[in-house]
A and B are shown apart, each in its own frame.
Chain A
Amino acid sequence: MPLLVPPAPSGTTFTTTRPAGPAPVPPAEIPPERLLYEETLPGGAGWSWSLRRHLTLRLTALENGANVSLICFNRHDLVDRYNMADTLKGQHTAKLTAGYILVSDMGRAMLSITGDTLGWHDAISGHDNAGIVRQKWGERSYQAARNEWFQNSRDHFLMELGKHGLDRRDLVANVNFFSKVTADDEGVMHYVPDHAKAGDFIDLRAEMDLLVILTTCHHPLDTAESYSPKKVKLQLWRSDPPGPGDWCRKYRPENERAFFNSEVLYI
């Protein structure tokens, strides 16, 4: 085990874009010998998983307009969790795409975006809840509709959090993969409908052992005429651990320091 020493500080000069070479192209088809697990989530579902370090979670939109709302936690210390502001300000971005990392409130790289066919994922708009769904599409009772009833991200987050001993104190700001929301000069937010097309995917490599919680409910600003959350495929695959020259590690000096903060967990 080599001695871990913090990377040298870069001072307070901020550079805005600095991909270290071209983005690596993830395999369009995961090699069968690397594929470990696969599951299709219906629209309006919740899911949680202990994701081991250096495995990659691939999310694939199976229908146009899919959305995946996600939060994550340090598997061994659940108080250490995804932090929207630390992720965004550390990388000077309001959107997420390949090269960026999700950062915890302890300054640790949690997930690296190692592959992305879309170029824009929403990190600021939050998740939907029963009130938002009711206001847009009305109500559909379980007794009348059985599993075709209307569901929402907040309820699924709370249910999955509860399975791991967590509660609404832990329901942090989330990411919405496959969705795009822009802000104009006045700060007004604009939702882009049907941003994701069937087949679009994103690869998320765990940089530490994680508890990942996600839902496939509607984006909270979705303008769809009817309640119609979309199917998403989940795949876990054995990716290569990030070496010293890893593209996400080198994407920004901030990322390298966040990788360091994760790696000291494994001394």
Chain B
Amino acid sequence: MSTLNYTESPLAPEKAAYRHKIPAGDFWIHKITAGQSVRIVDLEGNQAVDTIFYNAGDFAEYYSAQATIRGQRCIYLTTGTKIISSEGNVMLEITADTCGRHDTLGGACACESNTVRYGHDTKYMHACRQNFLMGLASWPGAACHLNKRDIPANINFFMNVPVTPEGGLMFEDGVSAGGKYVELKAAMDVVCLISNCPQLNNPCNGWNPTPVEVLVWD
């Protein structure tokens, strides 16, 4: 196992301006203004937190997984990683990370991709892309109609998806644990859309979706 990069945050939870627990399998959409910090806490361990960021003033500018890994020349996200948009702008920076590594290549689960990965009997199970669609449909600040076109590649916080030197993509056991967190400071006004993954077919989470907590500091 290669090295993991741990950094603690000085921010105290009791001083947070906002706290919310996202139940297992649910979505959350929230604006983070420039200068605010957002922390995501993996309360029980190895829960996949599928996350997309949009420019709050222009949803057509969105998180780009390819621009982000290319910008860091590294496929994993951790402290110091700048979250880059489809327009090449820095949206946020990861300022603390007690997990050490996060994935952005594995994407979100969807009913349709579940049929490919696990078989057609999983087609009617709840999935992340449904959460994303619900989140987009519920967002009152959107200036235009948002739909599947607006779901780009996402970050999977707390997931460990290594690429081998031979080009294989592995789904390894989690490197996270209960209480681990990742924290990001916004460089622009962004809207954060989270699907707290409801996946019941993947051993990564022990077939057991659990809640996560989000905290925001001014």
List B contacts of A85 (CB < 8 A): 65, 105-108, 153-154
CB of A173 within 8 Å of the partner chain: yes
Q: Once the chains are docked, how many angstroms separate the CA of A189 from the CA of B203?
A: 28
Chain B interface (Cβ < 8 Å from any Cβ of A): 2-3, 59-61, 64-67, 69-70, 73-76, 86, 88, 101, 105-108, 110, 112-122, 129, 147-154, 161-165, 167-171, 201-203
Residues of A contacting B: mostly: loop
Binding site for B on A (CB under 8 A): 6-12, 16, 79, 83-86, 88-95, 103, 105-108, 120, 124-127, 129, 131, 167-174, 182-189, 220-221, 254, 257-258, 260-261
Q: What A residues does B2 contact at CB under 8 A?
A: 185-187
A101 to chain B: closest residue by CB: B116
A103, A126, A168 pick with most chain B CB within 10 angstroms: A126
What 8 pairs across the A-B complex have the smallest Cβ distances?
A: A85-B107, A9-B119, A126-B66, A107-B112, A95-B167, A6-B120, A187-B76, A185-B2
Contacts of B151 in A (CB 8 A): 105
Contact residues in B for A79 (Cβ distance below 8 Å): 147-149
Given contacts A84-B107, A168-B60, contact A186 B168 (CB under 8 A): no
Residues of B within 8 A of A10 (CB): 119
Taken together as a complex, chains A and B put the C-alpha atoms of A187 and B88 apart, in Å, by: 21
Interface hub of B3, B119, B170 (most chain A Cβ within 10 A): B119
- With a cutoff of 8 Å between Cβ atoms, the chain A residues found around residue B118 in the complex are 9, 12
Residues of A within 8 A of B154 (CB): 85
Nearest B residue (CB) for A174:
B66
Report A181 CB to chain B, min CB distance, Å: 9
By the criterion CB–CB under 8 Å, are B168 and A94 in contact? yes
Q: 15 A-B contacts, Cβ less than 8 Å apart?
A: A6-B120, A7-B119, A12-B202, A89-B117, A92-B169, A92-B171, A93-B169, A105-B129, A107-B115, A126-B66, A168-B61, A183-B163, A187-B76, A188-B73, A221-B70
Q: Is the CB of B75 within 8 A of A187?
A: yes
Which residues on the A side are within 8 Å of B149 (C-beta)?
79, 169-170
- B115–A86 contact, CB under 8 A? no
* Contact status B60-A94, CB under 8 Å: no
- A83's closest neighbor in chain B, by CB? B107
Asked whether A254 and B66 contact (CB < 8 A) given A83-B107, A89-B106, A93-B168, the answer is: no
Q: How far is the CA of A257 from the CA of B120 in the complex (A)?
A: 8
Q: Which chain B residues border A257 with CB–CB below 8 Å?
A: 115-116, 119-120
Quote the shortest CB–CB distance from B39 to chain A (angstroms).
23
Shortest CB-to-CB span from A162 to chain B, Å, is 13
Report the bound CA distance from A42 to B73 in whole Å.
29
